[in-house]
């Protein structure tokens, strides 16, 4: 086989040249149209990042979202994505399937090679390239099997040294060439314009409760009715205050939809329709969907999308193929719930996300007293339809901590809804409903778990000055949860308690057990990220957050914010800055925006962007006029040491006092 000698990426000509020993002329791939040049720029970005690393390592693509959005808007013309989810979909499809195919050349032209007849009648003509050229080209498009958003232009697979690969633009080479290329782009990213103009900091100041709590997303309240809507799935107990990104308005090209390459079936459970005609029953139909997600997420042979992403499609009459494409899954589960005084009727459908065809459907009509057994039956039937092995652990987990009384279950669902609010009144209301559920059924383990979480919220949201006493109440509640349900420990809550007691070893231990308990639950990975971050294991923390974001493709802002802070800990400030900007852009009045402004203050100061750091610090003060650095240091969850000192010094230098 001919040996590949060198690779040149010409930014001025939008060409990649592969020089083989003994082959003349070289292989030249030309990205000849505006939309094709976007894909060329992705390759160039990855090569530039590898050059910075000094080795052919993987590049975390999500850390370069701002740059990729800018490249897309600048280069793709009318084909630029209208929303970031659309951009990620086309990048993944291109890198995994279309770019590696040299003969078909769907995204480029191959110069000095003849077109020859297609393999089959009616097919497309293909380029006449040697087997060595096709193999060498396809091997360049590498990705991490354990994290499919880590890409590399795999010169090591093609037996080429990094020194034999170059980026050029006229007389410029490598990083100088890439920096000049970026300077010449027409469009600056909109988020950069917003954040660099101090005028935008005049946005309305949040109400006092919003400075310490999460502003509930009112989009989930239909018809303007003040109803209890959302029942958070039991397995994601510890995923708190998650912001829902708005559903993108553009259509997704179904021909380029990206599905996970995993051999595990991938699916999303959509919110079931409430057919009772009573909006007050909306929380109940949501609860059925939530419980099904809870059941399926325990199955290690399934890839289940997080509730925070699938529920963004509630009330959106979109085709099944479009929803599946946006969520990046192969299968969808949808259904409806109708309930009267004594009976409940549930219709469930399993849909192929590629064709839109129904694979399996069934209607259930049971007494209300049989509701929990019915939920188990639905979960088992779905797994059977997908031919998924049902493990003994999963079969048991489907039945964990069920109340004996349906009224207790309804109070529990209402408590979960108020828990989302993340404000003082919401915490107290949630606690009241959990206590009412426990009063009806003193052996309802999950109600005790969530009761414990309301006490932990008091501490983390700084709603109390009596930390030790409140922490004791949380520990008492979680011990009752363990007594009521010893086979399903609330590891996430145990991890939170350990963190607040400064016991980082156990916080990490419990969080890891939580990941084992819910292997496709994004909330478990998020809790692990926080625990690892507190212990200053920043690289592993970032990996856990990135896993959580893969399982929740609509990117909850608390996940994004935590990833940003883990990158700050790892001194990857340039990668952290766009994540903090994303949080502020999507949720400008929330507690997470406040945390993101603090992150920007530190990241800007530590990269020498002092004017930007002062601007970010001013926004910290705008959102919390009572801020003082002494309280920040005293209440910070970070342990004493170099990281905490670095952040506090950055705050002080940026003007925070």
- In this structure, what CATH number is given to the domain that contains residue 562? 1.25.40.10
**How many Å apart are CA 522 and CA 529, to the nearest integer?**
11
Averaged pLDDT score across all residues of the chain:
78
Residues 6+ apart with CB under 8 A from 287: 231, 409, 413
How many C-beta atoms lie closer than 10 Å to residue 608's C-beta?
9
Per residue in 107-116, pLDDT tens?
888 888 887 7
pTM for the predicted model, two decimal places? 0.56
Backbone angles phi, psi at 519, to 5 degrees: -65, -15
345 class by beta-carbon count within 10 Å (0-12 exposed, 13-18 middle, 19+ buried): middle
How many C-beta atoms lie closer than 10 Å to residue 464's C-beta?
15
Is residue 258 predicted with pLDDT exceeding 70?
no
Asked whether residue 233 falls in the same domain as residue 125, the answer is no
**How many Å apart are CA 155 and CA 137, to the nearest integer?**
10
Among 13-22, 28-37, 71-80, 150-159, the minimum mean pLDDT is found in 150-159
Asked whether residue 257 falls in the same domain as residue 171, the answer is no
Asked whether residue 160 falls in the same domain as residue 221, the answer is no
Which of 210, 212, 208 has its CA nearest to residue 462?
A: 212
**How many Å apart are CA 147 and CA 225, to the nearest integer?**
42
- Residue pair 482/442 in contact by the 8 Å Cβ criterion: no
Domain termination site, one of 397, 426, 456: 397
Tell me what pLDDT residue 290 has. Answer: 78
Tell me what pLDDT residue 2 has. Answer: 61
Domain contains 133: yes
Beta-bridge partners for 116:
126
Domain contains 344: yes
Rounded to an integer, the average pLDDT of 444-473 is 91
Domain contains 333: yes
Asked whether residue 621 falls in the same domain as residue 575, the answer is yes
User: How far, CA to CA in Å, does 83 sit from each of 101, 293, 330, 550?
Assistant: 27, 27, 21, 17
Asked whether residue 238 falls in the same domain as residue 340, the answer is yes
331 class by beta-carbon count within 10 Å (0-12 exposed, 13-18 middle, 19+ buried): buried
Q: What is the length of the chain?
A: 657
**How many Å apart are CA 190 and CA 188, to the nearest integer?**
6
Residue 493, CB-side half-sphere exposure with 13 Å CA sphere:
31
Total structural domains within the chain = 3
> CA-based angle 58:62:65, to the nearest 5?
125
Q: Which tops the pLDDT comparison, 24 or 513?
A: 513
Tell me what pLDDT residue 596 has. Answer: 94
pLDDT band per the 50, 70, 90 thresholds, residue 29: very high
pLDDT above 70 covers a percentage of the chain that reads: 81
Name the residue with tokens 């230098």: 653
Which of 461, 466, 495 has its CA nearest to residue 478?
A: 495
634 class by beta-carbon count within 10 Å (0-12 exposed, 13-18 middle, 19+ buried): exposed
Asked whether residue 18 falls in the same domain as residue 122, the answer is yes
Asked whether residue 267 falls in the same domain as residue 354, the answer is yes
User: How far, CA to CA in Å, does 634 sit from each of 458, 463, 470, 628, 637?
Assistant: 17, 16, 18, 10, 9
Tell me what pLDDT residue 450 has. Answer: 92
Domain assignment of residue 114, given as a range? 4-188
Number of separate helices (H) and strands (E) present in the chain: 26, 17
**How many Å apart are CA 366 and CA 627, to the nearest integer?**
56
Q: Are strands 331-339 and 303-304 parallel, antiparallel or unpaired?
A: unpaired
CATH number of 364's domain: 3.40.50.10610
Domain termination site, one of 397, 430, 458: 397
Is residue 56 predicted with pLDDT exceeding 80?
no
Tell me what pLDDT residue 440 has. Answer: 93
Asked whether residue 151 falls in the same domain as residue 15, the answer is yes
Asked whether residue 157 falls in the same domain as residue 249, the answer is no
Tokens coding 139: 């091997």
Residue 31, sorted as left (phi over 0), alpha (psi -120 to 50) or beta, turns out to be beta
Domain contains 246: yes
Compute the Cα dihedral for 123, 129, 132, 133 and give only its sign.
Answer: negative
**How many Å apart are CA 592 and CA 584, to the nearest integer?**
8
pLDDT band per the 50, 70, 90 thresholds, residue 469: very high
- Residue pair 105/125 in contact by the 8 Å Cβ criterion: no
pLDDT band per the 50, 70, 90 thresholds, residue 125: low
Element holding 17 (H helix, E strand): strand 15-20
Asked whether residue 21 falls in the same domain as residue 167, the answer is yes
Which of 487, 160, 523 has its CA nearest to residue 309?
A: 523
Asked whether residue 184 falls in the same domain as residue 234, the answer is no
Domain contains 221: yes
Tell me what pLDDT residue 639 has. Answer: 85
pLDDT above 90 covers a percentage of the chain that reads: 29
Is residue 504 predicted with pLDDT exceeding 90?
yes
Domain contains 201: no
Tokens coding 114: 């003849």
Rounded to an integer, the average pLDDT of 36-43 is 92
Query: What is the C-alpha radius of gyration for the chain, rounded to an integer number of angstroms?
Result: 26
Q: Can you tell me whether residue 487 is helix, strand or coil?
A: coil
Q: Which tops the pLDDT comparison, 101 or 341?
A: 101
**How many Å apart are CA 171 and CA 177, to the nearest integer?**
8
What is the 8-class DSSP label of residue 24? S
- Residue pair 436/451 in contact by the 8 Å Cβ criterion: no
Domain contains 541: no
How many C-beta atoms lie closer than 10 Å to residue 275's C-beta?
15
**How many Å apart are CA 413 and CA 419, to the nearest integer?**
10
Residues 6+ apart with CB under 8 A from 633: 644, 648
Asked whether residue 46 falls in the same domain as residue 177, the answer is yes
Rounded to an integer, the average pLDDT of 152-161 is 72
Domain termination site, one of 397, 430, 461: 397
Domain contains 630: yes
Rounded to an integer, the average pLDDT of 606-612 is 94
Q: Which of 50-59, 547-556, 604-613 has the highest mean pLDDT?
A: 604-613
């Amino acid at each position: 086989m001919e040996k590949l000698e060198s690779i040149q990426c010409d930014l001025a000509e939008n060409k990649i040249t592969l020089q083989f020993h003994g082959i003349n002329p070289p292989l030249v791939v030309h990205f000849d149209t505006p939309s094709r040049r976007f894909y060329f720029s992705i390759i160039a970005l990855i090569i530039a990042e590898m050059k910075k690393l000094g080795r052919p390592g993987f590049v975390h693509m999500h850390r370069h979202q701002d740059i990729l959005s800018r490249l897309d808007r600048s280069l793709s013309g009318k084909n630029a994505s209208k929303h970031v989810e659309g951009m990620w979909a086309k990048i993944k499809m291109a890198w995994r399937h279309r770019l590696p195919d040299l003969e078909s050349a769907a995204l480029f032209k191959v110069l000095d090679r003849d077109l020859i007849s297609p393999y089959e009648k009616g097919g497309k003509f293909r380029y006449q390239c040697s087997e060595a050229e096709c193999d060498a080209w396809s091997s360049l498009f590498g990705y991490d099997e354990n994290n499919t958003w880590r890409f590399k232009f795999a010169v090591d697979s093609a037996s080429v040294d990094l020194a034999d690969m170059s980026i050029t633009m006229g007389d410029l080479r490598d990083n100088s060439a890439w920096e000049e290329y970026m300077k010449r782009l027409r469009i600056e990213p909109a988020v950069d314009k917003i954040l660099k103009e101090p005028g935008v900091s005049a946005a309305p100041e949040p109400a006092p409760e919003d400075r310490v709590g999460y502003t509930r997303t009112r989009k989930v309240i239909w018809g303007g009715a003040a109803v209890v809507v959302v029942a958070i799935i039991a397995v994601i107990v510890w995923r708190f205050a998650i912001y829902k990104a708005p559903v993108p308005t553009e259509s997704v090209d179904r021909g380029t939809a990206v599905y996970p390459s995993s051999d595990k079936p991938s699916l999303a459970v959509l919110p079931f329709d409430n057919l009772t005609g009573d909006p007050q029953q909306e929380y109940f139909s949501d609860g059925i969907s939530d419980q099904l997600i809870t059941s399926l997420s325990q199955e290690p042979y399934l890839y289940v999308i997080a509730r925070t992403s699938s529920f963004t499609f509630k009330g959106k009459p979109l085709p099944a193929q479009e929803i599946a494409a946006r969520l990046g899954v192969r299968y969808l589960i949808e259904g409806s719930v109708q309930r009267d005084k004594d009976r409940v009727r549930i219709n469930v459908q399993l849909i192929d996300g590629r064709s839109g065809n129904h694979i399996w459907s069934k209607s259930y009509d049971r007494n209300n007293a049989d509701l929990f057994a019915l939920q188990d039956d639905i979960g088992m039937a779905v797994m059977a339809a997908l031919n998924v092995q049902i493990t003994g652990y999963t079969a048991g987990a489907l039945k964990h901590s069920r109340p004996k009384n349906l009224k207790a279950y309804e109070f529990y669902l209402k408590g979960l809804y108020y828990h989302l609010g993340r404000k003082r009144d919401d915490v107290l209301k949630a606690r009241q409903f959990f206590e009412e559920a426990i009063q009806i059924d003193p052996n309802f383990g999950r109600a005790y778990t969530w009761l414990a979480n309301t006490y932990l919220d008091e501490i983390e949201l700084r709603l109390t000055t009596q930390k030790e006493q409140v922490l004791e109440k949380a520990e008492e509640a979680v011990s009752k949860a363990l007594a009521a349900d010893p086979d399903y420990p609330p590891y996430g809550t145990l991890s939170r308690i350990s963190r607040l007691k400064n016991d980082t070893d156990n916080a990490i231990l419990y969080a890891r057990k939580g990941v084992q308990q819910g292997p496709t639950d994004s909330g478990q990975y998020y809790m692990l990220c926080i625990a690892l971050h507190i212990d200053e294991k920043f690289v592993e923390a970032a990996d856990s957050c990135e896993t959580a974001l893969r399982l929740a493709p609509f990117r909850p802002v608390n996940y994004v914010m935590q990833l940003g802070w883990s990158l700050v800990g790892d001194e990857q400030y340039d990668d952290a800055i766009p994540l903090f900007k994303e949080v502020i852009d999507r949720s400008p009045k929330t507690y997470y925006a406040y945390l993101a402004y603090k992150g920007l203050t530190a990241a800007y100061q530590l990269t020498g962007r002092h004017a930007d750091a002062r601007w970010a610090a001013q926004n910290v003060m705008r959102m919390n006029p009572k801020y003082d650095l002494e309280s920040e240091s005293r209440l910070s969850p970070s342990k004493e040491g170099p990281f905490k000192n670095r952040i506090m010094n950055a705050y002080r230098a940026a003007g925070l006092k």
